[in-house]
Structure 1
Amino acid sequence: MPSIEAATPKRKPTNLSLDRSLLEEARALGINVSRSAEAGIADAVKRRKREQWLRENGDALASSNAYVEAHGLPLAHHRQF
């Protein structure tokens, strides 16, 4: 059975510069600033990876879409719906 420590991502203390009033408001509302920043960064990484994948695979997607537009879906005659 894996240890709990192995399942927990390692954290690295990091300095961030944040808008002072936003930080004060977040703290007053009981928001965990570190976890919120981490979630925001994770979302930004996910979006950037998606954008990168679409850029790198755009030609293949366009080619596939053009084929389907011109010839229909391959094996469409096997569809039962």
Structure 2
Amino acid sequence: METDVTTDKRATVDVTLSSATLAEAEALGVDVSRAAEAGVAAAARAERQRRWKEENREAMEQMKVWVEENGLPLSELRKF
């Protein structure tokens, strides 16, 4: 579920950064708020994927065993 940051309500939060990182970002014209938001969104996406994989690990392992025993479904229709 991707979030559209252009239409979401905004929330104010405190974030602690090293002074060197902040100074460099500001010197380069980086929008620190948007960059932080992008980083948090990426971390949330990665955690969501990690959890999905863990929650579905058993089913994926069962599917792998099934394919090893039975082959790919519809493999006879493949043209490569």
Query: TM-score, normalised on structure 1?
Result: 0.85
Q: How far did residue 75 of structure 1 move? A: 2.5
Larger Rg: 1
Q: How large is the RMSD of aligned CA atoms in angstroms?
A: 1.3
State the SS of the aligned residue for 1:16: coil
The residue number in structure 1 matching 2:37 is: 38
- AA matched with 1:79: R
Distance in 2 separating the partners of 1:74 and 1:28: 56
Could you tell me which runs of 5 or more consecutive residues in structure 1 were left unpaired when the two chains were aligned.
Answer: 1-6
Q: What is the aligned residue count? A: 75
1:14 maps to 2:36: no
The residue number in structure 1 matching 2:61 is: 62
Question: Among the aligned pairs, what percent are the same residue?
Answer: 41
Distance in 1 separating the partners of 2:54 and 2:79: 34
1:77 maps to 2:76: yes
Identify, as 1 or 2, the structure richer in helix: 1
Could you tell me which runs of 5 or more consecutive residues in structure 2 were left unpaired when the two chains were aligned.
Answer: 1-5
- AA matched with 1:65: K
